[in-house]
Amino acid sequence: MLSRKYVIGLQPLLWSIFLVLLLYTILPTLTVRLLGLWVYKKKVARDGIALTFDDGPDPDFTPQLLDILSKYQIIATFFVLGSKAEKYPELIQRIHHEGHLIGIHNYVHWTNACMTPQKVRKQLKDSVAAIENIIGVTPIYYRPPWGIINVFDLFLVHRFRLVFWSLMVTDWRSHGGTERIKSKLLAKLQSNQIIVLHDSGQTFGANRDAPHYMLDALDAFLEICTLRRVTFLRIDTYLHLLQFKKRAPSRRTKKFLIFIWLKWERVFHWLFNIRPIDVDNQIFYSRVRKYHGKTIQLGSGEELNSGDLVIELHFNNEKLHQLITESDSMFQLAVQMKQAVKSFMPTLTQHVHFIPEKVKAIYGITMIHRGSKQLGFTLTELPKGIFSRVTQFYLKLLLCLLHPNGRDRLKMKSELLSPRIATISTQELCKKYAVSVELIAISEHAVPIS
């Protein structure tokens, strides 16, 4: 049995692993699934049903599947594995010649959560090359295995259209047989769904004979759909009909997501020892740390160099959500934020006096930075790179989540939504927002602000 001391010693490592997984794959996957951002997973108009098939092609089951689709004159979308496409090019040719759409499902069936960004891109590059060599068409539709992505996959939306699903009937399992799959398909027949099925039982967690039951259930399902005159369309046709419009999350869903986000931030603050500057007015959270980055020329003539101590500011996003809700425009929001920050600056100045270390500057990253220069902050662009892109994605995601108009706001003057580093030297801070001698004298006998 593990000792308590050993378990306690493992806690920082376990927290670190959890944090990496949360930021790298869990949070991005939940975001795109719940908010429907940058992915296509469900229709918003009653134009028909989309049948999609993953994990093929398979030499035994894909020909039978194509025969069934041909029998009912239905076209579908196939998300194939690049390695199988290379192994069975004649099946890829048949899928294409019979009018079905071909997308990609990685080169092999590995989850993106367990791969580096470079590895994911190689999987996609090899898969695209395999399809192009067979049918001469470049696939642009992509479904990641198990519907799991990592944070860097969000940069793929410029090249690929991510397609998830709205109905999964666990057809990779043999348990329950044909009747179970058929009943689940029929239960959702009245709704316009993107249905995902699997024409291979060779992937991890699947039963080898499962496609037998899927094919029998599909045959019966399509016979009923034919009698009911149900329309089936390819994914690209869906997107064309919808003109790329997506369903906005409901108020209840958005409220829930905001609740989860703010709870997660509390955990984040606890993990990294980020504390409120004023417990009675928690507009800012902060921590003292060493600055790591390029040299920044401060307005006071000083330089902020790598290794200098800074107070890192974090805006209270609960307060930000309140300000956004009360604002009619981004301009009004900027004005309110400027007023809130300006009124808080003397408190921040007082906070600096209680820090025993020699702090060079106040430092923060923000996307709403209008009016910062008038408050004495120097604005600097983030150096281009992975950190800049991830930061910009995070801040835009936060704005999309907190702002009442969500994604529509991101489309308005998106060029202005660029994160900046805001810095002010402690020397300039104290000079510009010096509190009175009497207040400092009183503060020296007061309990320090935590």
Residue type, 379: L
Q: What is the pLDDT of residue 405?
A: 59
Q: What is the pLDDT of residue 382?
A: 81
Phi, psi of 196 (to 5 degrees): -110, 125
Structure token digits, residue 334: 């900027």
Phi, psi of 184 (to 5 degrees): -70, -40
Q: How confident is the prediction along the chain (450 residues), in pLDDT tens digits per residue?
A: 444 444 444 456 666 666 677 777 877 777 777 666 556 665 544 567 889 999 999 999 999 999 999 999 999 999 999 999 999 999 999 999 999 999 999 999 999 988 998 999 999 999 999 999 999 999 999 999 999 988 888 788 778 988 999 899 999 999 989 999 999 999 877 667 889 999 999 998 899 999 999 999 999 999 999 998 888 989 988 666 554 444 445 566 677 777 777 887 888 888 888 888 887 777 888 999 899 888 998 887 889 999 999 999 888 888 877 777 777 666 777 777 778 888 888 888 888 888 878 899 998 888 766 677 888 888 888 887 777 777 777 777 776 767 665 555 555 555 456 778 889 998 888 888 865 434 444 444 443 333
Q: What is the pLDDT of residue 14?
A: 61
CA Rg value for the chain: 27
Q: How far apart are the first and last CA of the chain?
A: 40
CB 402 within 8 A of CB 265: no
The C-alpha atoms of residue 151 and residue 161 are separated, in whole angstroms, by 16
Structure token digits, residue 255: 């409220």
Domains in the chain with CATH codes = 14-242 (3.20.20.370), 251-443 (no CATH)
Q: What is the pLDDT of residue 433?
A: 82
* Catalytic (active-site) positions: 54, 198
Give the pTM.
0.60
- Tell me the C-alpha to C-alpha distance, in Å, between residue 110 and each of 116, 173, 385: 11, 19, 26
